[in-house]
Amino acid sequence: MEVRTFPETSLQTTGQRAAPIVITPPRGWLDLNLKELWEYRELLYFFVWRDIKVRYKQTIIGAGWAIIQPFFTMVVFSLFFGLLAKIPSEGLPYPIFYYSALLPWMYFANALNGATNTVIEHQRVITKVYFPRLILPLAAVLAGLGDFGIAFVILIGMMLFYGVVPTGAVLLLPFFLLLAVATALGAGLWLSALNAIYRDVRYAVPFLVQFWMFASPVAYPSSLIPERWRWLYGLNPMAGVIEGFRWALTGQGSPPNVLMFVSVAAVLLVLLGGIVYFRRMESTIADVV
Amino acid sequence: MGDLAIRVENLSKRYRIGQRERYLALRDVLARAISAPFRVFSSNSKPDGRNPRSDYIWALKDVSLEVKQGEVVGIIGRNGAGKTTLLKILARITRPTSGYAEVRGRVGSLLEVGTGFHPELTGRENIYLSGAVLGMTKREIDRKFDEIVDFAGVEKFIDTPVKHYSSGMYMRLAFAVAAHLEPEILLVDEVLAVGDADFQKKCLGKMEDVAKEGRTVLFVSHNMGMITSLCKRAILLEEGRLVTDGPASETVMSYYHRGGSSPHAVDFTRSGRPIGDHLATLLQAHIEDMDGNIVSEVDIRYPFKVKMRYRLHESVPEPPFPNFHFFDARGEYVFVSSSNNFTNGGTEPGIYEAECIVPGNLLNNGTYFIGLALTFTHRGIHVSFYEKDALAVNVKDPMEETLYELRSGYSGPIPGPVRPRLDWRIKKIS
């Protein structure tokens, strides 16, 4: 006969006891703990959801903002770089040529900016609650996809208008988008960790983004770059992203080549380095923000 | 670890002086790099890139501690003693410099109310957001949603952005979310210090529930009353070191003893900030037994005196009334006592001593806090000073002597803020 001396407590009903959490001083370089990130996926979802929700709540024109920015930049570029400077456009109508590049570019620029500031913006939460800090830049980068999606609808309309028919390469579009996300995240991780320590980093970011744009084939096709320097040009991951984006959408321009492979390698390097560096800084972030 | 919930071994945390206030600018670092490349090179040899020669302060030094499952432990100490640092390390918000800690069970940290709230979002949205930030899953929040709204009493405004909430509503909602977190280990830091008295009482009740449910609680507070009423055990930190670990009332007393100004005898003129106004200032106060010895502990059976010295700065038309406010360990008023028209002091400038005799067999055993005040009445009611919790006294019930004398052989706790000895008559009527 079983005799129960103690009533079961609510603690025991939660299942078997979890392994203890061990807290030690930070050590090691490869303590990435990506499994923990997975455990916190719901919080990531909530942060992304909040960012998107707040973005469209706060502004008067709401979602319109996501369209205005790339659309008017496209108009200006078409006028000055296209009609006036007559920069070659791979045989595409200028609006399509610029808009299809501005779309991933604007996404990247905004996501990078958001990721850079996110740690500082969450100062209060960071000093009060634990969660893997990696979630913050990750959420900032993913939330930017909301704007991207809205602006993308306009692109479809423009393509219909100009009668640009995508080829089968369009199936590769998600891959290039993923590459853009990875680039924004990789660079964002570096910058947000640096920004937490050195507060003036965020003032440098708009400059960086501006220079970066001219180093990317947004306003011009990469075919302007001499063949033997292409690989070097590819070290800028956004070069591969934008070139790939245009190609996947319109079938015009350069299909994946050396430049693309160099870009993918560069992204992976920046991203991995960013994760390691961010993880490394994570343990001291709450002390410095 | 058996039934241990928390084990801490030689935990230390070092901060650079000023690190918490100042952050670096990249331009400073670059400027230094240009002016002295070698110096920067050597300082970069430290893994954290900071200058090893700058001054450090140990926020926590070699703290070892074990907390059993279901224990409610208070953490006290002055500002900067390391209380919050200890909680932050256990909550994994910051990492220790050296040492080791082991935490078994889901940890919930309540270091602030309203963590993760966004003013633009509605009450409903914020419940989900804040809940997720505090560590609840979406399913858990779904399940407790109605309860949370109910507890906060904001049904009508649940779809209004919280920026339109009154501060009271905001606090209630924020606390409601936090209160429905069900961690196995709860770390609480002073959140109860906010809000009005009603709200504090609600929080206190919730904390007691949590403790009763057998969860482990670590509770940092400056309110000694709350510490003694909520926690059986308390630890005292001083300059990062653990100096006392024992029953809450003893730790509280030890805190006061070590502070130089023990709470049973306080010299207010040494605080640097005069307590009072142009009419009068508070000078000294202490507790003494009927033989005139200054004591911190009194026997429940015997009377004791509360004495207060104050200075009158100018002559006034009517004498002021000293009054003493007694609070129990839970922060509840026990009584107020004041001098009256027949026993008042003088009206001329000078130093006065007021004395109040608290009879034996009135207060219960436990810690009592006494607020000191002086009130003038010649031009309406004017309070020159009111120093809350200025004195503390431990009322002891020496059980070995009182067991048959007062307690009729009953040795358990006797509840209530007072324990007067009253006259009883029992007669047989049929």
Chain B residues touching A46 at Cβ < 8 A: 128-129, 132-133, 138
- Mean of the pLDDT values across residues B36-45? 48
Contact A46 B15 (CB under 8 A): no
Report which of residues B194 and B177 the model is more confident about. B177
Of the given ranges (A234-248, B129-143, B261-275), which has the lowest mean pLDDT? B261-275
Q: By the CB < 8 Å criterion, does A42 face chain B? A: yes
Q: By the CB < 8 Å criterion, does A21 face chain B? A: yes
Closest CB to B105 among A18, A43, A46: A18
Residue type, B255: Y
Look at the alpha carbons of B413, B414, B419, B424 in this order and tell me if their dihedral is positive or negative: negative
Chain B residue with the nearest C-alpha to that of A54: B120
Contact B104 A20 (CB under 8 A): yes
Closest CA to A170 of A253, A251, A248, A254: A248
Q: Strand B382-396 to strand B297-299: parallel, antiparallel, or no bridges (unpaired)?
A: parallel
Chain A residue with the nearest C-alpha to that of B69: A11
Question: What is the average pLDDT score of chain B?
Answer: 82
Contact B20 A287 (CB under 8 A): yes
Q: By the CB < 8 Å criterion, does B169 face chain A? A: no
Of the given ranges (A76-85, A140-149, B146-155, B285-294), which has the lowest mean pLDDT? A76-85
Decide if pLDDT at B326 tops 90: yes
CB A243 within 8 A of CB A251: no
Query: For chain B, what percent of residues have pLDDT higher than 90?
Result: 34
Chain B residue with the nearest C-alpha to that of A196: B23
Of the given ranges (A30-39, A64-73, A233-242, B272-281), which has the lowest mean pLDDT? A30-39
The shortest C-alpha distance from B413 to chain A (Å) reads 24
Domains delineated in chain B:
4-22+57-257 (3.40.50.300), 273-399 (2.70.50.60)
Closest CB to B104 among A17, A194, A284: A17
Contact B23 A199 (CB under 8 A): yes
Chain B residue with the nearest C-alpha to that of A122: B116
CB B215 within 8 A of CB B231: no
Contact B69 A11 (CB under 8 A): yes
> Which tens digit of pLDDT belongs to each residue from A23-67?
877 765 556 677 788 888 999 999 999 988 888 876 667 677 788
pTM of the model: 0.71
**pLDDT of the residue at A13:** 33
Look at the alpha carbons of B254, B260, B261, B262 in this order and tell me if their dihedral is positive or negative: positive
Interface subset of A 115-144, CB within 8 angstroms of B = 124-131
> Which tens digit of pLDDT belongs to each residue from A166-177?
787 888 889 999
Decide if pLDDT at B151 tops 80: yes
Burial of B380 (0-12, 13-18, 19+ CB in 10 A): exposed
Q: Strand B4-16 to strand B185-189: parallel, antiparallel, or no bridges (unpaired)?
A: unpaired
- Confidence bin at B125 (pLDDT 50/70/90): very high
**Which residues share a beta bridge with A22?**
B102
Q: By the CB < 8 Å criterion, does A44 face chain B? A: no
- Contacts A–B by Cβ distance under 8 A: 131
Residue type, A104: P
**pLDDT of the residue at B257:** 67
Contact B23 A198 (CB under 8 A): yes
CB A144 within 8 A of CB A107: yes
The ipTM (two decimal places) reads: 0.82
Residue A173 belongs to what H/E stretch?
helix A173-197
C-alpha A71/C-alpha A67 separation (Å) is 6
- Mean of the pLDDT values across residues A78-85? 83
**pLDDT of the residue at B325:** 93
The shortest C-alpha distance from B249 to chain A (Å) reads 28
Give the best residue of B20, B23, B160, B215 to mutate against chain A (max A CB count within 10 A): B23
- Confidence bin at B50 (pLDDT 50/70/90): very low
The DSSP output letter for B363 is B
